[in-house]
Structure 1
Amino acid sequence: MAQPKFFLQPLTAAICVACYSGSIQAQQIDTEDNVQQLAPVVMTAQKANDANGLIVRADPKQPIQPVPATDGADYLQSIAGFSSVKNGGTNGDVTFRGMFGSRIKILTDGTENLGACPSRMDAPTSYIQPESFDRITVTKGPQTVQYANTGSAATVIFERQKPKLSEDQSYFGQASVLLGSYGRLDQNIEAVAGDEQKYIRLNANRSESNSYEDGNGDKVPSAWERWNTDLALGWTPDANTWLELSAGKSDGEALYAGRDMDGSQFARESLGLRFEKKNLTDVIKKVEGQVNYSYNDHVMDNFRLRTPPLMEMEHDGHKMNMPNPSEMQVTRRTLNSRLAVTSEWDKLSLITGVDTQQNHHAGSMKSMMMNMPLTTNMKFNSYGAFGELGYKLNDRYKLVSGVRIDQVKIEALQLNEDRKETLPSAFIRLESQHPEHDAKTYIGLGYVERVPDYWELFSTAHGNSGMPTPTFNDLDTEKTLQLDLGYQHQHGALKSWASAYAGLVNDYILMSYHNHATGGHGHGSSFSASAKNVDATIAGAEAGIGYDFTDAIQADVSAMYAWGENTDTHKPLPQIAPLEGRLNVRYVQDKYTFGLLWRVVAKQDRISLHQGNIVGYDMNESKSFNTLALNASYNLAKDINIAVGVDNVFDKAYTEHLNKAGSSGFGFASEEQFNNIGRNYWARMSMKF
């Protein structure tokens, strides 16, 4: 992208003008009132913990390194334990502790928006722009039952908080612009206006990038363009009542080095209504409910963003190569509803509720040899009830437990089959705090049953029986029993934290790739997946330690490790990220900061060849690598900040272990992985108003 195009973007120009005029005004305010604002710290690692280290909270409006995130999966990688299966420049598929897909519950404002692509080209995080949210909350392991079809590995919530307005402050907002190498341009704006009883909130963003070059200077097909707009109308007639109506639209396109098709459409429409009523009685502290509808309309093809492949055809007795364009349209309509009541009396706190989810999936296929119309092929219905109880044993110890039951029905319309499952889940956890040592700990045991999801049922060639048709009913539910424990501690300038887990997974759903007649589902090879149940053992940990050498010089180091074994064959579980460590050093002053991030990743020699998940599989052992990134920030004026960074300073050519093979259509050899981005410069200006 030519540089002048930046100045032609209307949103960018508006933000720049606002930043400039706001800078003059803010400087005047600083002079008159002697107000001093600290410079923003570029986030490079997990910092904030809650609930004794079990829950991680992050502020997605802060700049992060590597270069600020394009989607939800990008941002989550800054939190220890998360990795991502890379397709190209955007829309990777997040993993946590080696677990993938519906084992990770991804929610936006308490509701779930599922992707539609049979090979997860549009994973749920693809529709999330992190900066438009106020907070990200991650609950590790099966340690909550409050949301439908509980995730066994983690529950992740991207949430917007209720705005606080008054007569003195009738509006506020934030805007940012980011420029980066290879034509990267992001524009984000959030604006809230109203009074104590009503408000309107707008979140809008646009992001684009050209294809990047790796450390060898080779171009990797990875361009993208996307936009999101969300609007909310809120009513707060009194301090205890909140009603909000929200609606949103988004779309985009992405070129994928690791697939035989690209995403030429990622259309999203959403509509939601939520309410909250607090302090109904001395016991009933809150009643909350919501209904949310989403519609994803995704198109993948091999001709809009790339040159279509050639197919040999015979015409008038002569053989010739003809372009063979093809496309697939897939849609998912999802309706979620939830009602919950929070009660408190004496030392007890109780959250009870019910929720439902209905979603319909449809698909079509068009090519020179095929023209299948858009047809609904799956219906999914679930109804759940839950209760989560907290009991304060004394000033130091608290017991938390929960139980949940889900009734699920899945209909395979084209097979004229259905399956019904009753899925229990539960946990119990002991939390402790020791104020005299500024230490907190937890230990919890959780159990989850998970029904095979859409991708495991409909994107695989066969199941346990080996026959192509019965996949739908011959996969058993996955059953996870997991122990989670951890602590966090602070003593003077020293801070430390750790989270560990060990689990037994009966009927773990494992993907194995072979040459099947059903095709490759866009995987970048002729392989397709079969799914079968095996028993597995998992374990691992995340840990960190930080030290403030002076008021200005801070450092922290963190590490994460995940391990898994197929106990049926005594082989490693596939697609698990290797041991990784991160060192962060920061120099912090009132108006500016400097920082570095050194990321060190070990080789991964625990692999299972051609086994994995619905997106990727193990191809070979991965090599170790390390990268260095530098960043700085400066407070131009009150509420106006600039952050700059250089990622992969030494321009190294490397590939992640969780990285798809490049498509042969781009000249990649069979099972040759594409490299990550080379040296990358970026600058981000943000303002609050």
Structure 2
Amino acid sequence: MAQPQFFLQPLAAAVCVACYSSAVAANEHIPVQTMAPIVVTSAAGNDANGLIVRADPKQPIQPVPATDGADYLQSIVGFSSVNSGAGTNGDVTFRGMFGSRIKILTDGTENLGACPSRMDSSTSYISPESYDRISVIKGPQTVQYANTGSAATVIFERNPEQFDQDKKYRGQASVLMGSYGRLDQNVEAAVGDENKYIRLNTNRSVSDSYQDGDGRTVPSDWERWNADLALGWTPDEDTWVELTGGKADGEAVYAGRMMDGSKFARESLGLRVEKKNVTDVIKKIEAQVNYNYNDHVMDNYSLRDFKPTMMMPKETGTNVTRKTLNARMAVTQEWDKFELITGVDTQNNEHTIRKTDTDRNIPYQNLPRSKDMEFQSIGGFGELSYQVGDNNKLVSGLRLDQVKVDAVQSNQERKETLPSAFFRFENHHPEYDDGKTYIGLGYVERMPDYWELFSPKSGNGQLNTFKNIDTEKTLQLDLGYQHAHGKFNSWASAYAGLIQDYILTTYLPTGDMGMLEAHTRNVDATIAGAEAGIGYQFTDAIQADVSAMYAWGENTTDNTPLPQISPLEARVNLRYIQDNYTLGAYWRLVDSQNRISEREGNIVGYDHNKKSAGFGTLSLNGTYHVNEGVDLSIGVDNVFDRTYTEHLNKMGNAGVGLAATEQFNNIGRNYWARVSMKF
């Protein structure tokens, strides 16, 4: 995976590609494309009066454009990531919540990781630029998807292709080069006519290990690729049928883990059918079925020089897989001022594992796979909207899930019936310069996920974790507003919640070596926080916005802070926009975090014994509209080469030469250049 070090090559290469692309564009009569500035913060919501945030993942973002889903979501206010030390494959958090409290969907389906320590979270298998939009529904304010997330529901979506007689193809491509051998290539192409199409999304991303602000190398290199193919049929404007298939793989070196990820293979297959305007009342019927298979390997020898330790004296590897089958059907009905969406969905998945037998020196490849979990769920939902006059809207929903989990190896079984519901009032205030507000109350019960049932050594003090961890119950109030008046706009979202039987992971030393092991228990908790932003257009060319996010949590059982919550953060974005170019400055300010609970957290990370230090980083960017459909973007992240670490970063690992008593640092000054072309 060695790549040449970065000096001026990316900028020179980008200019060459841009010049070549502009010549091609001039000959092909490409229609004019509107240039968008680099996105450095996705701020105000634009649906449900600000409750739902939407983002365009095809636009470049700063810091350096994202490699996976977690990387991109960090550009949306409220999101952070538990980083393990690779330059990719972080584990996203929202408002301090983690794991299955955040529902991650791609084109309406869920693809779950397999690693017992979440080395391959759901977002690890997502290439953001392959999607057309990202929607974030904050809080428990929808019931339309299986096993609803209590903190947020995140949906990565692609649009159906539409062609006419004049143009029967479209596409876009981008190349990014950056410091430390970073090289991304992304291609999306589609051809078709009024009744059918074929679309290809493919990308590759590679990078060497980076250096922090002090010039110290942090082992973190990676390589990943994705390829997805879609065949669509649109016999009329109200019918859409799409068959999809995809494959992917990758590898990543981790500065904060004892093992690296040497395989992140994905296979997927899906069928989706949608019929609109069936009758005057039935406006849409949609159905889909999706199959995903993830095959993940972690080991301590293939991507690093093996060094025996007391905990791992021999070369060892673990191979885990998860097969997931999702199915969903929903009907949208409209009459008078009502809209009702009803449906059913199911999920079945199974998990297998095999490990190197170090006692007999048998590699994992020569051992059979052993199934350790089977999961089945079926749920039904109804979501009703009622338009109260011209300016008010009521939205409510009810859902019931029947979940069954089998611990195959110990011959144990759990069955749970999980209700969820919400009620929301949306209000439009035209008399106050087009102000919009919402307030909603939601309740959701969450089944402990695979990582909470199978990875910890005990549950509520009992060795049988599987049987002794209770379901988690969240009651949360969400409210917010957005407002625009002339050159000024503002928005805010706030929440407060009560969580009964919050699932908390505590790390305790065990054995003579004092190795920390995960133990899980239920506690009661209170959470609260907000995201807010203001923007102002000083002139036709100069714009600025400021956003901030803060999350707070208290373990009310022990009267201690909830762990693994990011500190107060503010983002300042200044842009200068002209017809053919934009210039931007992005200043990120992060406070220290002194609300910590030592050795408590989640299955990926835990709080350390001292508060984290605050920091600030400045980044600069620019975009030039070279020609019709061709944009060149350049950026410098962490301009002053600041040495810093995020609060959620894991500790370093001695196996890659880092101190195991300190958190690893983030990347220092980082240059990048990106060319994108549409045709």
Indicate the TM-score class for this superposition, using the shorter chain for normalisation.
Answer: over 0.9
Aligned to 1:62: 59
**Are the aligned partners of 1:38 and 1:589 in contact in 2 as well (CA < 8 Å)?**
no
Distance 1:473 1:2, change over 3 A: closer
User: Distance between the aligned counterparts of 1:330 and 1:411, measured in 2?
Assistant: 17
Aligned to 2:392: 397
**Are the aligned partners of 2:502 and 2:524 in contact in 1 as well (CA < 8 Å)?**
yes
User: Distance between the aligned counterparts of 1:185 and 1:140, measured in 2?
Assistant: 33
**Post-superposition shift, 1:28?**
6.5
- Within 5 A, what are the aligned runs for 1:66-215? 66-88=63-85, 89-215=87-213
Distance 1:189 1:118, change over 3 A: same
**Are the aligned partners of 1:38 and 1:590 in contact in 2 as well (CA < 8 Å)?**
no
**Are the aligned partners of 1:432 and 1:441 in contact in 2 as well (CA < 8 Å)?**
yes
User: Distance between the aligned counterparts of 1:398 and 1:379, measured in 2?
Assistant: 41
State the Cα deviation string for residues 488-539 of structure 1 (Å, max 9, x = none): 00000001000000000000000000124699xxxxx921211100000000
Aligned to 2:494: 500
Q: Which amino acid is 2:331 matched to? A: V
**Pair 1:485 & 2:485 matched:** no
**Post-superposition shift, 1:467?**
2.7
Aligned to 1:310: 308
**Post-superposition shift, 1:36?**
6.2
**Post-superposition shift, 1:543?**
0.1
What SS class does the counterpart of residue 23 from structure 2 fall into? Answer: helix
Given candidates 40, 46, 53, the residue that maps to 2:42 is 46
User: Distance between the aligned counterparts of 2:393 and 2:512, measured in 1?
Assistant: 53
User: Distance between the aligned counterparts of 1:190 and 1:630, measured in 2?
Assistant: 28
**Pair 1:510 & 2:500 matched:** no
**Post-superposition shift, 1:450?**
0.2
Q: Which amino acid is 2:498 matched to? A: L
**Are the aligned partners of 2:3 and 2:207 in contact in 1 as well (CA < 8 Å)?**
no
**Post-superposition shift, 1:309?**
2.5
TM-score (norm 2): 0.95
**Are the aligned partners of 2:18 and 2:631 in contact in 1 as well (CA < 8 Å)?**
no
User: Distance between the aligned counterparts of 1:38 and 1:147, measured in 2?
Assistant: 35
User: Distance between the aligned counterparts of 2:297 and 2:542, measured in 1?
Assistant: 49
State the Cα deviation string for residues 98-146 of structure 1 (Å, max 9, x = none): 0000000000000000000000000000000000000000000000000
What SS class does the counterpart of residue 409 from structure 2 fall into? Answer: coil
State the Cα deviation string for residues 471-500 of structure 1 (Å, max 9, x = none): 101111000000000000000000100000
**Are the aligned partners of 2:343 and 2:381 in contact in 1 as well (CA < 8 Å)?**
yes
**Are the aligned partners of 2:587 and 2:618 in contact in 1 as well (CA < 8 Å)?**
yes
What SS class does the counterpart of residue 506 from structure 1 fall into? Answer: strand
State the Cα deviation string for residues 296-333 of structure 1 (Å, max 9, x = none): 00000000001223268xxxxxxxx9961000000000
What SS class does the counterpart of residue 373 from structure 1 fall into? Answer: coil
Given candidates 665, 678, 683, the residue that maps to 2:655 is 665
User: Distance between the aligned counterparts of 2:267 and 2:243, measured in 1?
Assistant: 14
What SS class does the counterpart of residue 576 from structure 1 fall into? Answer: coil
Aligned to 1:596: 585
Unaligned runs of 5+ in 2: none
Aligned to 2:546: 557
Q: Which amino acid is 2:377 matched to? A: S
Q: Which amino acid is 2:336 matched to? A: D
Distance 1:683 1:121, change over 3 A: same
Q: Which amino acid is 2:53 matched to? A: V
Distance 1:516 1:167, change over 3 A: farther
Aligned alpha-carbon RMSD (Å):
2.3
Given candidates 353, 363, 369, the residue that maps to 2:359 is 369
User: Distance between the aligned counterparts of 1:73 and 1:163, measured in 2?
Assistant: 27
User: Distance between the aligned counterparts of 2:331 and 2:35, measured in 1?
Assistant: 41
Aligned to 1:300: 298
User: Distance between the aligned counterparts of 2:187 and 2:27, measured in 1?
Assistant: 24
**Are the aligned partners of 1:81 and 1:560 in contact in 2 as well (CA < 8 Å)?**
yes
State the Cα deviation string for residues 541-588 of structure 1 (Å, max 9, x = none): 000000000010000000000000000111000000000000000000
Distance 1:537 1:182, change over 3 A: same
Aligned to 1:285: 283
Distance 1:411 1:2, change over 3 A: closer
Unaligned runs of 5+ in 1: 313-320, 520-524
Q: Which amino acid is 2:228 matched to? A: D
User: Distance between the aligned counterparts of 1:537 and 1:598, measured in 2?
Assistant: 31
Aligned to 1:472: 466
What SS class does the counterpart of residue 22 from structure 2 fall into? Answer: helix
TM-score (norm 1): 0.94
**Post-superposition shift, 1:170?**
0.3
Distance 1:627 1:158, change over 3 A: same
Aligned length: 668
User: Distance between the aligned counterparts of 1:375 and 1:332, measured in 2?
Assistant: 12
Aligned to 1:636: 626
Q: Which amino acid is 1:24 matched to? A: A
User: Distance between the aligned counterparts of 2:290 and 2:603, measured in 1?
Assistant: 27
What SS class does the counterpart of residue 410 from structure 2 fall into? Answer: coil
What SS class does the counterpart of residue 102 from structure 1 fall into? Answer: helix
User: Distance between the aligned counterparts of 2:509 and 2:296, measured in 1?
Assistant: 26
**Post-superposition shift, 1:666?**
2.3
Distance 1:400 1:638, change over 3 A: same
What SS class does the counterpart of residue 670 from structure 1 fall into? Answer: coil
User: Distance between the aligned counterparts of 1:517 and 1:307, measured in 2?
Assistant: 27
Distance 1:449 1:583, change over 3 A: same
State the Cα deviation string for residues 61-110 of structure 1 (Å, max 9, x = none): 00000000010000000000000001121100000000000000000000
User: Distance between the aligned counterparts of 1:73 and 1:103, measured in 2?
Assistant: 15
**Are the aligned partners of 1:340 and 1:354 in contact in 2 as well (CA < 8 Å)?**
yes
What SS class does the counterpart of residue 182 from structure 1 fall into? Answer: coil
